[in-house]
Copies of this chain bind each other. A is one copy, B any other.
Amino acid sequence: MVQKVHLGSCCQPSRLRKVAIVSWASSRFVKDTKQNIFELACGPGAQILKNTNLDRKDIDALLVSSCTTEQYSSTIISEMLGLKPKVSHRVDNLCNSGTNAIASAYSLITSELCDLALVVGAEKADSTGNKLRWDVTRGAFMLPVHWAAIFARAHMRKFGTSEEQMATVSVKNHRNASKNPNALFKKPVSLEQVLTSKKIADPIKLLDCSAPCDGASAVLLADERNAKKITDNPVWITGIGQHTNSASFANAASDLCTIESARMAAQDAFRMSGTKPSQIDVAELHDAFTIMEILAYEDLGFARKGAGGKFVNQQNIAINPRGGIIGCGHPVGATGVSQVAEVAAQLAGRAGSTQVNDCKTGLVHNLAAAGSSASVMIMSV
């Protein structure tokens, strides 16, 4: 009944304020920090406040991304950081929480409700976000590895993707993580080590999987005028796509070889930013399992459908230079924020030991369980 409409304006496309990522920080991702969720969350936020030397009064939004069951965590974290923001709440959507919160922060700034928005993602390794008890169509197993195994087997059957190709993703991401001081896994692994690691749910082996851990990350977003005062290297958010498919695996994954939510989110993000997959220099892809990175190659348009397995050896795009989720660990609510922090650092030329040469345009791809929802974000300098 209602058609999608976009109102015209006398001054498109500059009508809306531009938004940049101007600062970022991450904790080390480790098995157990011995910190509670609040202490853990405050680390990167405090680091950003120190690095930018901002007056705390100027931070007018604090969004928290976490699957914690603690109540009003954003208000508690505000107080612990010495902030009294206008807007503060927690965003919860499993692994996709972090990019959801950053998209919300973007829209708070674009809509002129806020100028400077801090997004903090934090999770403890024992978070209830690691377990789902709603959807028995995932096999009543509750563990993500079961749907990953179904995706992997389907792709192998339909396109001939091999266990070696999946293992190659793990080798690459562990190698990248070995250069990242914040990563959970610091040792490179060989193809043989991956292939002979313990079978968890055939064909997924232990080293095809990411691991839950403690971790926190934060990014600071600013409107254009403030961004240019804070940094010489603002990283502009140029495209955002989000899509929610279905909580049920049976409905979310009607085609077991495509994550439909990611495909649609990517379409929207590329359209909004006016870029194409071939223009991406650096990308953080949601590799909770090796097969998920291969599916992402295809769903984002880096490779044609079915060619993801062969794409693992490409060198044109720097994919998961920090080590991805497999190498860095997967603190659920922090993951999306840490992905954006990494791509922002890369584009600003400040990624340190994981820096990729000559990157101007970057992409973040984030998913919640089995692709039930997805976010794609495009940034450029």
Contacts and interface: CB of A to CB of B under 8 A. Distances in A.
Interface of A: 1-7, 9-11, 14-17, 52-55, 58, 62, 67, 69-76, 78-79, 83-94, 96-97, 100-101, 103-104, 106-108, 110-113, 115-116, 128-129, 131-132, 134, 223-226, 229-230, 240-248, 251, 265, 268, 368-369, 372-373
A2 B107 contact: no
Contacts of A100: 87, 89
Contacts of A101: 89
Nearest to A373: B75
A368 B76 CA distance: 12
The list of the 8 closest CB pairs from A to B, nearest first, reads A110-B111, A107-B111, A89-B93, A69-B69, A88-B244, A107-B107, A5-B225, A90-B92
A330 to B, nearest CB: 15
Nearest to A65: B89
- Most chain-B CB neighbours within 10 Å: which of A52, A111, A268? A111
Nearest to A104: B104
B2 A246 contact: no
Given A7-B223, A10-B10, A104-B108, 16 more contacts: A1-B55, A2-B116, A6-B112, A9-B14, A15-B16, A69-B128, A71-B94, A71-B128, A72-B369, A75-B373, A84-B243, A86-B268, A88-B93, A89-B91, A92-B92, A103-B113
Nearest to A248: B79
Q: How many copies does the complex hold?
A: 2
Contact of A72 (B93, B108, B113, B268): B93
Contact of A9 (B15, B58, B84): B15
Contacts of A71: 67, 92, 94, 128-129, 131-132, 134
A87 B242 contact: yes
Contacts of A15: 9, 11, 15-16
A92 B85 CA distance: 16
A378 to B, nearest CB: 13
B251 A79 contact: yes
B84 A53 contact: no
A373 B113 contact: no
Contacts of A240: 113
Contacts of A67: 71
